[in-house]
Chains A and B, each alone.
Chain A
Amino acid sequence: MPKGLTWRFGLILLFIFLSGLYLTPTFVSPLPSWWTGLLPKDRISLGLDLQGGTHLVMEVEIQKAVEGALDLIATDLEDSLTAKTLRFKKIGRTASDRVQLTFYDRGTADTVQKMIKEKYPTMELVPPYDEGGFVSMQLRMGEKEAQERKDRAVAQALETIRNRIDQFGVSEPVIAREGLTNIVVQLPGIKDPKRAIELIGRTARLEFKLVDEAINPATATPGTVPEDSEILIEKKTDSTTGAVTEIPLVVKKKAMITGDLLTDAQVRIDSQFNQPYVAIDFNATGARLFDQVTAANVGKRFAIVLDNTIYSAPVIRERISGGSAQISGSFTEKEAADLAIVLRAGSLPAPVKIIQNVTVGPSLGQDSINKGLIAGLVGIGLVIAFMTIYYKLSGLVANFGMVLNVVYLMGALAALGATLTLPGIAAIVLLIGMSVDANVLIFERIREEMRLGKPPKAALDAGYDKAFLTIMDSHVTTLITAAVLFQFGTGPVKGFAVSLSLGVIINLFTALVGTKAVFDFALSRLRVKRLSV
Chain B
Amino acid sequence: MEFIGKTHFDFMGKKKISFAVSIIISIIGIIGVVQIALGTANMGIDFSGGTAVQLKFAQPVSIDKAREALSKHGLKDANLQEITEGNKLLVKVGKTSLPQGNAADLIQGAFQKEVPGNQFVVESSTEIGPAIGDKLRKDTLIAVAISLICIVIYIAWRFDFTFGVGALAATLHDVLAMFAVFFLLNKEINLLFITAVLTIAGYSLTDTVVVFDRIRENLHKNTKDSLSVIFNHSINEVLSRTIITGLTTFLAAGSLYFFGGEVIHDFALALVVGIVVGIYSSVFVASPIVEVWGRRTKTSKA
Contact = CB atoms under 8 A, between A and B. Distances in A.
Given A444-B241, A489-B143, A356 B129 contact: yes
Interface in A19-46: none
B175 to A, nearest CB: 12
A55 to B, nearest CB: 9
Contacts of B271: 426, 430
Nearest to B204: A477
Interface in A380-422: 382-383, 386-387, 389-392, 422
A487 B139 CA distance: 10
B259 A390 contact: no
Contacts of B136: 490
Interface stretch (A84-92, A292-300, A333-341, A468-476): A468-476
Contacts of B1: 389-392
A217 interface: no
Given A360-B123, A367-B261, A477 B154 contact: yes
A356 B132 contact: yes
Interface stretch (B110-118, B191-199, B283-291): B191-199
Contacts of B38: none
Interface string B253-270: 111101111011001100
Q: Pick from A57, A361, A375, A444 the residue with the most CB of B within 10 Å.
A: A375
Given A356-B129, A477-B205, A390 B255 contact: no
Interface stretch (B29-37, B73-81, B227-235, B244-252): B244-252
A509 B254 CA distance: 26
Interface residues of A, number: 72
B207 to A, nearest CB: 8
B238 interface: yes
B248 A372 contact: no
A393 B88 CA distance: 46
Nearest to A373: B259
A436 B248 contact: yes
A448 B6 CA distance: 10
B162 interface: no
Interface string A484-496: 1101111011001
Interface in B87-143: 104-105, 121-129, 131-132, 136, 139-140, 142-143
A372 B261 contact: yes
A484 B125 contact: no
Interface in B202-229: 202-203, 205-206, 209-210, 213-214, 217
A61 to B, nearest CB: 12
A440 B248 contact: yes
A355 B132 contact: yes
Given A355-B129, A378-B255, A484-B143, A437 B245 contact: yes
Interface in A165-205: 193-194
Interface string B162-182: 000000000000000000000
A322 interface: no
A363 interface: yes
B240 A375 contact: no
A361 B121 contact: yes
Contacts of B213: 469-470, 473
A379 B254 CA distance: 8
A444 B240 contact: yes
B240 A423 contact: no
Nearest to A357: B127
Given A437-B248, A444-B244, A485-B143, A480 B264 contact: no
Contacts of A492: 191-192
B30 to A, nearest CB: 22
B201 interface: yes
Given A363-B121, A474-B206, A423 B195 contact: yes
Interface stretch (B9-17, B145-153, B294-302): B145-153
Contacts of A363: 56, 121, 123
B104 to A, nearest CB: 8
Contact of B125 (A357, A391, A475, A496): A357
A441 interface: yes
B261 A488 contact: no
Contacts of B258: 375, 378
A474 B154 contact: no
Contacts of B245: 433-434, 436-437, 440-441
A230 interface: no
B158 interface: yes
A59 B130 CA distance: 12
Given A375-B260, A481-B147, A433 B127 contact: no
B82 interface: no
B139 A488 contact: yes
B247 A375 contact: no
Interface in A429-448: 429-430, 432-434, 436-437, 440-441, 444, 447-448
Contacts of A469: 213
A496 B198 CA distance: 11
Contacts of A367: 261
Given A375-B255, A470-B209, A433 B248 contact: yes
Contacts of A378: 255, 258-259
Contacts of A484: 143, 146-147, 150, 198
A379 B255 contact: yes
Contact of A488 (B143, B202, B237): B143
Contacts of B132: 57, 355-356
B26 interface: no
Q: Pick from B146, B199, B217, B268 the residue with the most CB of A within 10 Å.
A: B199
A364 interface: yes
B48 interface: no
Given A477-B209, A480-B147, A359 B131 contact: no
The 4 A-B residue pairs whose C-beta atoms are closest, nearest first, are A371-B261, A433-B252, A355-B129, A433-B249
27 contacts: A354-B127, A356-B127, A357-B104, A357-B127, A358-B128, A359-B125, A363-B121, A364-B263, A379-B252, A392-B1, A426-B256, A429-B255, A430-B199, A430-B252, A440-B244, A444-B241, A474-B210, A477-B202, A480-B151, A480-B154, A481-B201, A484-B146, A484-B150, A484-B198, A488-B140, A490-B191, A496-B199
Given A57-B132, A354-B127, A429-B252, 7 more contacts: A389-B1, A427-B199, A430-B271, A469-B213, A484-B146, A488-B140, A500-B199
